[in-house]
Structure 1
Amino acid sequence: MLGTTTFKGNKIIKDSEFEALIPQKPNRRFLGLPLYPYLAFYQAASVTYDSAYHHRKLDSLTLEYQRKSDSLEGNPRQLKIVQRKYARKIARTRRRLTEGNDFMRIFGEPPVYFDSLAITKNAEKLRGYLFNNGFFENEVRFTTDTAFRRIRTTYLIQENRPTRLRNVQYSISDLRVDSLVLSAKDQSTLKSSARYKGDAFEEERIRLEILLRNNGYYGFSRQSITYLINDTISAPATDSLFRQVDVFVRLEAPNGQESFKAYPVESVQFEVLPPDNSPDSLFQRDTTRFQDIRYVFTDKKFSPRILNSKMLIRPGKLYSQEDERETQRQLSLTDQFRFVNYGFDTTAQGLKSYFRAIPLDKYQVTADVGMNVIQLQQAPGPFANLSYKIRNIFHGLENFEVNLRGGVEAVTGFNDGNLYRSQEMSVNTSLLFPQLLFPGNFRYRFGRYNPRTQVGLGFNYVNRPEYARSSAKAAMTYTLQPSTTTFINLSLLDLNVLNTTRLAPEFERLLDTLQMQGNNLFNSFRRSFVSDVNFTFVRNTNLFIGPPKKASYLRVALESGGTSIGILPKQQQFIENVFGNNLQFFQYLRWNVDYRRYLPVGRRASLVARLNTGSVYSYGVNSVPPYEKYFFAGGSNSVRAWLPRRLGPGSSPPRITSANFTVEAPGELLMEGNLEYRGHLVHFFGDINYAIFLDAGNVWTLPTTTSAKTGEYAAGDFRWDKFGKQIALGTGFGLRYDLQYFVLRFDFGLKLYDPNRQEFVLDEFSWRKPFNTRQPNYLNFNLGVGYPF
């Protein structure tokens, strides 16, 4: 059987580049160990596999299909049904014949045998790859040896002297094109003194094609670019470590012409077509012109001024491929059109550009029901959502949406472990504008960046056995998307009014007790007014599509709460006149940075690292932030060995109640890190993946001025000389069922180091009762939707 493949002697080309050229892969091992579970599953299932049976079944299905098809020649509709039915059956049977039964295909992997002819071909591939990367004098040999009934292959590689580019010259007869190419020469993929790479020549063709097409040359093709390489140059006598070549890049106009033709945009038309399969005669057409662009609307009317801000193709400008595609993208992002097509007609003067779109339905109603599983109690709770959307409500591409949500959850009481019902109802309305609502024409200058302004109002009501609480919210948020990977949000107005209408006496006593212990959960249940200005920047290059790729994620959030209260003293009085007296006001500054790095490891595995940190600082009369603005550690997206929001702060012991696991542990400073290895197990209607992780982190409270003066710090206070011993450590494993559009996650966390006791606790875990919560250390089960990070 085929064993491992190794490469020796290569100094510049990485092993991973060679591995990608070798199509034959040995049977997969588990976690890099000499264990082959997939092969074992395949061999175990093959014992009961009968290929002769599937041969007979395939022949029988084929004959049966032929008989039924002959009998239905006069009934095409029924014939089509039979064709679909038997096509599925025959394809399924043929697959079982060639690939084995379901267990062999889903959970197993067929044995991979050594092929001497394939090894010889692989050596030729490696020689070609080295030659294409500048090693013209390379040598590749291979040796084999046997260990544990597997043949290991070693490729012995001699790269020898690399070839470098000495001079790169462009030969362009068209002076305008020559000037354009030379102005962007610093972006060329062909650099003097760089090693020769065949791929760089094709990349240069693509770069020049894009450059010219973005500067008016609509008909330019990369086939007009040719290369002449002079490899007869000898290396200097003082340096024989490399060879040298000169490269001549030639751009020749087609059909013997002396120059390339630059196309200006002569006219632009945007047309909204009638709904699918509807004749134009049934609808009234409305034609208007705005800033030299012709707009034609059928049945529905849209604001030409707003559409104009999305049209980057303009009459009088030179044609640009980038503007053409970005215009289509911006129009599609408005959520007004089912699809947007574009095209060009060439004329003697230039290009006639047209965009055609079919609108989406003006009214849309969506409803969904589901079941939540609360991680602490693992008890199901049904919920329902109803959403109603009106598109283009004011004919300016605005979307108005109303969302209703109701749900029932099983929750644990604060002072006992019994389950109770909790009802939650909410209504949220939002009006989305496809522009930044600023005064003047400034708001129309961001059409290339998918600008949006969202104005929202919302109301939420929660009824639990311990309390009943309502909250009202008003917000205005600006959004920009400078690229497909970058998002910017700025909310200049975010107002929340929180009101608790009922507190159970026993629960109120519990809040008083917690406040005496330092947990200010009590503040969350006082009538409060929370206002803030917040900014969020997100850059995400990870799409979670296809095989693992090198990617990163960065989220930076800044927030200032209650700033205007200090600047405008009369504002507080005005708010109390509107919402009543006895309101609690907050002033605080908050920041949070979340960075993640995704690195591929092998064919279907990746290593993910994450650092999440932040802090909130309170000032003013209240001296505490709103409870919702605190940081928490523990749970399925944090340190998974601890229950959600129950880790810390610092080395503080758990809150002592009859059910202490229900008491949250807020902090003003967060430090958190995660390292996770993700691999693939099997495919069963979706990918079943596994993960092994290591989590670290905690939250702390910020020391008060009094603590700093007296030197008497609380166990949860952050101190530079103590925080290293207060970092909690947890490890564990997980399973993820990835259906592309939905990921169900099961993670099991185990404590390694407990900051409360400041000692390692792994030896306190028992495999006999791994989920027994009465043990000092147990497997903490986390159920989640989506990846943790």
Structure 2
Amino acid sequence: MKTFSAFFTGMTFILALTFGCSVKKFIPEDEYLYTGATLELKSGDDINDIKEVTEEVEALLRPEPNKKILGMYVGLWAYYKGTQEKPGFINRFLNKKLGEKPIYFSEVNPPQTEELILNRLENRGFFYSITSSDVRRKGKFADLAYTVQISSPYLMDSLMVDRDSMEIDREIIKLLKDTELKPGTRFDLSKLNTERVRIEDALKSRGYYNFNDEYLIFEADTNSGDSARTFNLYLRFKNSVSKAGIIPYKVDEINVFPNYSIDDEAELIDTVTLNGKNFIQGELVFKPNLLDDYILIEKDSLYDPTKSRLSSNRLSSIGNYRFVNLRYEELEADDTLGHLRANIYLSPMAKRSLRAELQGISKSNNFAGPAVNVIYRNRNLFDGGETLNLTGKFAYEFQVGRGGVQGLNSVELGLKADLIYPRVIFFIPIKERFSYSVPKTKISLGTEFLDRGGLYRLNTFSGNYGYFWNANRFVYHEINPVSINVVNLTKTSEEFESILDSNPFLRNSFQRQFIAGVNYTFNYNKLADKFRTHAVFVGVGLDLAGSGLNAVSNIIGSKSGELLGMPYAHYAKADLDLRYYFRFSKEHTLATRFLAGVGKPLGRSVSLPYVKQFFAGGPNSIRAFRIRSLGPGTYRPEVFNQASFFDQAGDIRLEGNLEYRFPIISVLKGAAFFDAGNLWLMNENESLPGGKFTSSWWDELAVGTGIGLRVDIEFFVIRFDLATPLRIPSLPENERWVRNFDFGDKSWRRDNLIFNFAIGFPF
């Protein structure tokens, strides 16, 4: 290690001499290379936002000097080498990829920068500040040192409206009761602009359709303050404001065109008036009584931009319209009130569509592979925005680089029908009260056939009835009060029967079961906003099954754990998914995730159904362990084969992931990651020794690390991850940390380097 450190230090020194000093000879005789500027702010007063002021002033120090990497002008060196005579292919390539034009001191204008600094400080209330600059030259390099003596700030003594003769003046006076411009507030131009925008938004919500914040002007009077460096602030209208901008507007008429087409006006002939809205369409396309519920604006009400925006959102959320366009048309106004006509143009999508999709699937159960979906969609099925989706699916799933674990593939066939109503369907009428979007009702029926590596065949029939909606742009809810699954294990191989015979818990989880219950999903997601430095995701899932059936079974006197002769599952399950992204820049992200889950068998059930259990390892989990080869606890099968594949599931999951994502070149991205976690059983299982969750769970965590390559073309990501375990919980307690990394040994690489292929990011 000492040898490597000395080598690294020596190489750094040599490179610094090569790149840092060699640029000197390229600097023209009459020029100095500009190396940047420092800033010192001095003040005799205690400024509570001095950090913010300093950052704002530092941003004015232009131009930016040439960048350094480890103290070396790599980009500048590449530019100089690539622009010399006969630079050669390599130098031209380096200049194109890394080159950076030199910034010379002759391009810097200190007096202009000082003027900008003084202007910015005046905008912040620091009038009559003093600036100076000092040029420092050393060899062929030069930099600047700016010193700023900040004056005492001007503080507001009072805020008054210059007039109060009109209704809008009285509205503004009311709004100023909630202003942040209080006596003692420092003069700040940005806060004045913010206040004008606040007043504009508030007045528009009160019906002032044409009002603009540019109509307002703040004037500061420093001569009438009660003491030195104070001012009185006056708010008044500019002289050029028109009457239309300072009177409220009322919505006199609302026209809705449910089947609007710019090329076919002849169809817009029949009008149905309902709740003050005119629904204009030829052939019936959307029932007016249903469409009316999506529109929040009302006849004879004052103009409200919030209701206008939400009405557009709600109409768009139906899912049947390609364009939703709400336009206001001004009618003749009187002296004190304006009048509007609201026209809502709705352009529908094609009623029927058929689409085939070839997908690369990377699923939460850690399988990956190709899939073909054929989707038939019928929009506006009953003239109320209903959507019918019929989906046929064929999928083949596997894991690349699965090593010695056999049977890790499957063939899946499925057929599913979804009927989505863009409103709440309940046995009693419910008037939804969500302004952001309308809750949708979803009825689903489906069947799936699964052939798992020739070991068994599983038929699943499912039915769901529930609701989903977005409470706002970040929050999503889904609740299924009726969720039914019938799992039926059909053909099994002799090998699989022997696996079940050796593990009664596993046989119980694979028995024919009736799963009926309720489930709920909550998501809070800010990861999609690329501009956020700190972004979070919170996902919560609850799944309760069997309690209702248990009550019915007791009432009708059925055998415990059965209903009408069919066993049913009885359990409670909860999941937590926490993610946090820290974006250093647009291209560099530190992504973290924490997963926790617990499922508890209830009543006569001794285990969760197999389809509801947790699994670990694979491309979306702990990547240093092959698919489903981890846990539960410290359990280790004698041989990693098909039997261990089914045994290694659990009722409890804890998992944490850390991943640094960075660019390499063009669409090729890189990643370095660290994963840790494991599974455990809720109850003791003699067939899986060491699998039960105990107080020493932390000593049974698996740990792995690795690197990855991603082909990221915005809407599609292909991912390759190479990982190796650092800690293996199935080994004896004092041997779990891996200490030998013999990358030169072929057998070590085969057993310890795990290759994962997947579609999309792991989290």
TM-score norm. by structure 2 comes to 0.80
Written as runs of structure 1 = structure 2, the 5 A alignment for 1:155-174 is 161=152, 164-165=155-156, 167-171=158-162, 173=164
Please state whether the residue corresponding to 2:285 is helix, strand or coil: coil
Shift of 1:162: 5.1
SS of match in other structure, 1:568? helix
Contact 1:436 1:451 in 2 (8 A): yes
Distance 2:689 2:140 in 1: 63
| 1:499 maps to amino acid | N
Instruction: Give the root-mean-square deviation of aligned CA atoms.
Output: 4.4
Q: Following TM superposition, by how much is the alpha carbon of 1:443 offset from its aligned partner in structure 2, in angstroms?
A: 3.1
1:606 aligns with 2:592: no
102, 107, 121: which one aligns with 1:117 = 107
Q: Equivalent of 1:596, from 553, 567, 579?
A: 579
- Residue 511 of structure 2 corresponds to residue 526 of structure 1: yes
CA contact (8 A) 2:465 2:482 kept: yes
SS of alignment partner, residue 317 of structure 1? coil
**CA shift at 1:628, angstroms?**
3.0
**Contact 1:408/1:421 (<8 A) preserved:** yes
Identify the match of residue 725 of structure 1 among 699, 703, 707: 699
Describe the shift of the 1:412–1:750 C-alpha distance in structure 2 as closer, same or farther (beyond 3 A): closer
SS in 2 for 1:327: helix
Deviation at 1:718, TM superposition (A): 3.2
Q: Secondary structure at the match of 1:613?
A: strand
Aligned to 2:252: 266
Deviates most, 325-334 or 42-51: 42-51
Alignment of 1:708-719 (within 5 A): 715-719=690-694
Deviations 1:761-787 (A, max 9, x none): 453223436995544xx3433333333
Shift of 1:400: 0.7
Distance in 2 separating the partners of 1:258 and 1:274: 30
Q: Does the alignment pair 1:399 with 2:387?
A: yes
Q: Distance in 2 between matches of 1:614 and 1:144?
A: 62
Question: Hey, what's the Cα distance between the residues in 2 that align with 1:530 and 1:746?
Answer: 37
Match runs of 1:171-250 below 5 Å: 171=162, 173=164, 176-177=167-168, 180-181=171-172, 188-231=179-222, 245-250=231-236
1:457–1:734 distance in 2 versus 1, CA, 3 Å: same
User: Amino acid of the residue matched to residue 510 of structure 1?
Assistant: I
Supply the distance in 2 between the matched residues of 1:117 and 1:193 (Cα, whole angstroms): 42
Determine the C-alpha separation between the residues in 2 that align with 1:23 and 1:770.
56
Instruction: Name the CA shift for 1:296/1:377 in 2 (closer, same or farther; >3 Å).
Output: closer
* 1:13 matches 2:52: yes
What is the one-letter code of the residue matched to 2:52? I
Cα distance in 2 between the residues matched to 1:255 and 1:413: 72
Is structure 2 residue 281 aligned with structure 1 residue 306? no
Deviation string, structure 1 residues 457-499 (Cα, Å, up to 9, x no partner): 1111112311111111111121122212221111111111111
1:636 matched residue in structure 2: 619
Give the structure 1 partner of residue 485 of structure 2.
496
Task: Name the SS for the 1:533 alignment partner.
Answer: strand
Correspondent of 1:429 among 393, 417, 425: 417
8 Å contact 1:174–1:258 — kept in the other structure?
Answer: no
Is the counterpart of residue 695 in structure 1 residue 675 in structure 2? yes
State the SS of the aligned residue for 1:425. strand
**2-structure distance, mates of 1:216, 1:484:** 26
SS in 2 for 1:715: coil
Give the whole-Å Cα distance in 1 for the aligned partners of 2:451 and 2:736: 41
Aligned residue for 1:318? 302
**What are the Cα deviations for residues 29-54 of structure 1, in whole angstroms up to 9, with x where unaligned?**
77xx5578877887888799889x9x
**Paired residues of 2:259 and 2:285 also in contact (CA < 8 A):** no
SS where residue 471 of structure 2 aligns?
strand
In 1, the alpha carbon distance for the partners of 2:299 and 2:60 equals: 49
1:162-184: CA deviation from partner (whole Å, max 9, x where unpaired): 55555444456266545655655
1:145, 1:153 within 8 Å by CA — same for their partners in 2?
Answer: yes
**Aligned twin of 2:757:** 783
**Aligned positions of 1:710-789 closer than 5 A:** 715-720=690-695, 722-757=696-731, 761=737, 763-768=739-744, 773-775=749-751, 778-789=752-763
Deviations 1:252-293 (A, max 9, x none): 79657699311121111101345463x333x47432111111
Partner Cα separation in structure 1 for residue 509 and residue 77 of structure 2: 57
- Equivalent residue, structure 1, for 2:463: 474
Matches within 5 A, 1:272-671: 272-275=258-261, 277=263, 279-281=264-266, 283=267, 285-347=269-331, 348=333, 350-371=339-360, 381-409=369-397, 417=405, 422-446=410-434, 448-464=436-452, 465-513=454-502, 515=503, 520-545=505-530, 547=531, 549-569=533-553, 581=565, 583-602=566-585, 604-653=587-636, 656-658=639-641, 662=645, 665-671=648-654
Q: Distance in 1 between matches of 2:754 and 2:143?
A: 42
Does the CA contact (< 8 Å) of 1:411 and 1:422 recur in 2? no
CA distance in 2, matches of 1:192, 1:782: 63
Matched, 1:680 2:670: no
Look up the equivalent residue of 1:224 and give its one-letter code. Y
Deviation at 1:199, TM superposition (A): 2.4
Q: Could you report, residue by residue, the CA deviation over 1:299-347 in whole angstroms, capped at 9, with x for unpaired residues? A: 4520212211110111022110111122112112212112121212223
| Structure 2, unpaired ranges of 5+ | 1-32, 43-49
Q: Distance in 1 between matches of 2:409 and 2:689?
A: 36
1:131 CA drift (Å): 4.2
Distance in 1 (alpha carbons) for counterparts of 2:299 and 2:649: 59
2: distance between equivalents of 1:123 and 1:674? 48
C-alpha distance in structure 1 between counterparts of 2:467 and 2:278, whole Å = 30
Deviation of 1:733 after TM superposition, in Å, equals 3.0
Deviation at 1:533, TM superposition (A): 1.1
| C-alpha contact 1:437 1:443 (8 A) present in aligned 2 | no
> Higher mean Cα deviation, 594-603 or 417-426?
417-426
Match of 1:73 in 2: none
Query: Equivalences for 1:48-67 in 2 at 5 Å?
Result: none
Inter-partner Cα distance in structure 1 for 2:95 and 2:637:
50
Q: For the Cα contact (< 8 Å) 2:215–2:241, is it kept in 1?
A: no
**Cα pair 2:659 2:672 within 8 Å, conserved:** yes
SS at match of 1:331: helix
Question: Aligned partners of 2:440 and 2:163: how far apart in 1?
Answer: 45
Q: 2-side partners of 1:194 and 1:317: how far apart?
A: 38
- Whether the 8 Å CA contact 1:412–1:420 is kept in 2: the answer is no
Maintained 8 Å contact 1:449/1:482: yes
| Percent identity (aligned) | 25
Q: Which amino acid aligns with 1:639?
A: I
Name the CA shift for 1:544/1:210 in 2 (closer, same or farther; >3 Å).
closer
